[in-house]
Structure 1
Amino acid sequence: MKDEQIKSLVEIQNQTQNLLDQQQRLALQDKKLIEEYKSEIKDLKALEMPSNEVEKDVSPQSGTEPAEEQAKPKKWWFGKR
Protein backbone atom coordinates (compact mmCIF):
# COMPACT_ATOMS: atom_id res chain seq x y z
CA MET A 1 0.00 0.00 0.00
CA LYS A 2 2.74 2.47 0.97
CA ASP A 3 4.69 1.65 -2.19
CA GLU A 4 1.68 2.58 -4.33
CA GLN A 5 1.26 5.88 -2.47
CA ILE A 6 4.95 6.66 -2.91
CA LYS A 7 4.72 5.81 -6.62
CA SER A 8 1.66 8.03 -6.98
CA LEU A 9 3.35 10.92 -5.17
CA VAL A 10 6.45 10.58 -7.36
CA GLU A 11 4.28 10.71 -10.49
CA ILE A 12 2.48 13.80 -9.19
CA GLN A 13 5.84 15.41 -8.39
CA ASN A 14 7.09 14.66 -11.91
CA GLN A 15 3.94 16.13 -13.45
CA THR A 16 4.28 19.22 -11.28
CA GLN A 17 7.92 19.62 -12.31
CA ASN A 18 6.97 19.27 -15.99
CA LEU A 19 4.28 21.90 -15.62
CA LEU A 20 6.69 24.25 -13.87
CA ASP A 21 9.26 23.75 -16.65
CA GLN A 22 6.59 24.43 -19.28
CA GLN A 23 5.49 27.58 -17.45
CA GLN A 24 9.06 28.85 -17.31
CA ARG A 25 9.61 28.15 -21.03
CA LEU A 26 6.41 30.00 -21.91
CA ALA A 27 7.37 32.95 -19.71
CA LEU A 28 10.77 33.14 -21.41
CA GLN A 29 9.12 32.92 -24.83
CA ASP A 30 6.71 35.73 -23.86
CA LYS A 31 9.62 37.86 -22.68
CA LYS A 32 11.42 37.36 -26.00
CA LEU A 33 8.28 38.25 -27.95
CA ILE A 34 7.76 41.41 -25.90
CA GLU A 35 11.36 42.47 -26.58
CA GLU A 36 10.86 41.84 -30.31
CA TYR A 37 7.65 43.88 -30.31
CA LYS A 38 9.34 46.73 -28.46
CA SER A 39 12.12 46.70 -31.04
CA GLU A 40 9.62 46.73 -33.92
CA ILE A 41 7.67 49.60 -32.33
CA LYS A 42 10.89 51.55 -31.86
CA ASP A 43 11.80 50.98 -35.52
CA LEU A 44 8.33 52.07 -36.67
CA LYS A 45 8.47 55.21 -34.54
CA ALA A 46 11.86 56.01 -36.06
CA LEU A 47 10.32 55.71 -39.51
CA GLU A 48 7.38 57.96 -38.57
CA MET A 49 9.49 60.78 -37.15
CA PRO A 50 10.81 62.15 -40.47
CA SER A 51 7.33 62.16 -42.02
CA ASN A 52 6.01 64.19 -39.08
CA GLU A 53 8.82 66.70 -39.47
CA VAL A 54 8.01 67.06 -43.18
CA GLU A 55 4.39 67.87 -42.33
CA LYS A 56 5.54 70.61 -39.93
CA ASP A 57 7.69 72.18 -42.66
CA VAL A 58 4.74 72.60 -45.04
CA SER A 59 3.98 76.26 -45.80
CA PRO A 60 0.95 77.92 -44.20
CA GLN A 61 -0.66 78.33 -47.62
CA SER A 62 -1.22 74.57 -47.82
CA GLY A 63 -4.67 74.87 -46.27
CA THR A 64 -3.72 74.35 -42.64
CA GLU A 65 -4.96 77.84 -41.68
CA PRO A 66 -8.66 78.58 -41.31
CA ALA A 67 -10.24 80.40 -44.26
CA GLU A 68 -10.74 83.59 -42.20
CA GLU A 69 -7.04 83.93 -41.45
CA GLN A 70 -6.07 83.34 -45.08
CA ALA A 71 -8.39 86.12 -46.28
CA LYS A 72 -7.00 88.78 -43.88
CA PRO A 73 -3.72 90.42 -44.80
CA LYS A 74 -1.16 89.95 -42.08
CA LYS A 75 0.08 93.07 -40.34
CA TRP A 76 3.79 93.13 -39.74
CA TRP A 77 3.86 96.40 -37.83
CA PHE A 78 1.76 97.97 -35.18
CA GLY A 79 1.24 101.69 -35.21
CA LYS A 80 -1.29 104.49 -34.96
CA ARG A 81 -3.62 105.00 -37.84
Structure 2
Amino acid sequence: MIKADRKRLTKLDRKIACLEAEIAELKKRADVEIPEDVLLAISAAVSAYLGNRGKIKAVHFTRHRTWAAQGRQAVQSRKL
Protein backbone atom coordinates (compact mmCIF):
# COMPACT_ATOMS: atom_id res chain seq x y z
CA MET A 1 0.00 0.00 0.00
CA ILE A 2 2.79 2.43 0.87
CA LYS A 3 4.64 1.61 -2.38
CA ALA A 4 1.51 2.28 -4.39
CA ASP A 5 1.03 5.62 -2.61
CA ARG A 6 4.64 6.58 -3.31
CA LYS A 7 4.20 5.74 -6.98
CA ARG A 8 1.08 7.88 -7.13
CA LEU A 9 2.85 10.76 -5.42
CA THR A 10 5.82 10.65 -7.79
CA LYS A 11 3.43 10.51 -10.75
CA LEU A 12 1.54 13.52 -9.41
CA ASP A 13 4.81 15.38 -8.81
CA ARG A 14 5.79 14.82 -12.45
CA LYS A 15 2.39 16.01 -13.66
CA ILE A 16 2.56 19.13 -11.48
CA ALA A 17 6.05 19.95 -12.76
CA CYS A 18 4.86 19.54 -16.34
CA LEU A 19 1.84 21.78 -15.74
CA GLU A 20 3.95 24.44 -14.04
CA ALA A 21 6.31 24.50 -17.02
CA GLU A 22 3.36 24.81 -19.39
CA ILE A 23 1.89 27.69 -17.38
CA ALA A 24 5.25 29.49 -17.40
CA GLU A 25 5.42 29.13 -21.20
CA LEU A 26 1.88 30.47 -21.60
CA LYS A 27 2.68 33.46 -19.39
CA LYS A 28 5.69 34.26 -21.57
CA ARG A 29 3.53 34.14 -24.70
CA ALA A 30 0.88 36.41 -23.16
CA ASP A 31 3.42 39.18 -22.57
CA VAL A 32 4.70 39.22 -26.16
CA GLU A 33 4.01 42.36 -28.19
CA ILE A 34 2.07 41.99 -31.43
CA PRO A 35 4.34 42.82 -34.38
CA GLU A 36 3.50 45.85 -36.49
CA ASP A 37 3.12 43.82 -39.69
CA VAL A 38 0.50 41.63 -38.01
CA LEU A 39 -1.42 44.73 -36.92
CA LEU A 40 -1.25 46.08 -40.46
CA ALA A 41 -2.54 42.79 -41.87
CA ILE A 42 -5.45 42.79 -39.41
CA SER A 43 -6.20 46.42 -40.24
CA ALA A 44 -6.23 45.64 -43.96
CA ALA A 45 -8.55 42.67 -43.43
CA VAL A 46 -10.97 44.78 -41.37
CA SER A 47 -10.84 47.57 -43.93
CA ALA A 48 -11.57 45.15 -46.78
CA TYR A 49 -14.44 43.63 -44.83
CA LEU A 50 -15.94 47.05 -44.11
CA GLY A 51 -15.53 48.11 -47.75
CA ASN A 52 -12.80 50.65 -46.95
CA ARG A 53 -15.34 52.78 -45.08
CA GLY A 54 -14.02 52.25 -41.58
CA LYS A 55 -11.24 54.06 -39.79
CA ILE A 56 -9.19 52.53 -37.02
CA LYS A 57 -8.83 55.18 -34.36
CA ALA A 58 -6.94 53.20 -31.75
CA VAL A 59 -5.78 49.73 -30.83
CA HIS A 60 -6.18 48.74 -27.21
CA PHE A 61 -4.52 45.66 -25.79
CA THR A 62 -6.16 44.27 -22.72
CA ARG A 63 -4.98 41.16 -21.01
CA HIS A 64 -6.85 39.75 -18.08
CA ARG A 65 -6.15 36.88 -15.78
CA THR A 66 -9.65 35.42 -15.94
CA TRP A 67 -12.52 35.13 -18.38
CA ALA A 68 -14.75 36.84 -15.83
CA ALA A 69 -12.61 40.00 -15.95
CA GLN A 70 -12.78 39.96 -19.76
CA GLY A 71 -16.56 39.71 -19.65
CA ARG A 72 -16.87 42.52 -17.13
CA GLN A 73 -14.71 44.80 -19.22
CA ALA A 74 -16.64 43.97 -22.39
CA VAL A 75 -19.93 44.80 -20.70
CA GLN A 76 -18.70 47.93 -18.94
CA SER A 77 -16.87 49.42 -21.93
CA ARG A 78 -19.88 49.43 -24.26
CA LYS A 79 -20.51 52.98 -25.38
CA LEU A 80 -24.11 53.54 -26.35
What TM-score bracket applies, with the shorter chain setting the length?
Answer: 0.3 to 0.5
- How high is the TM-score relative to the length of structure 1? 0.46
Structure ranking higher on relative contact order (CA contacts 8 Å, 6+ apart): 2
- How high is the TM-score relative to the length of structure 2? 0.46
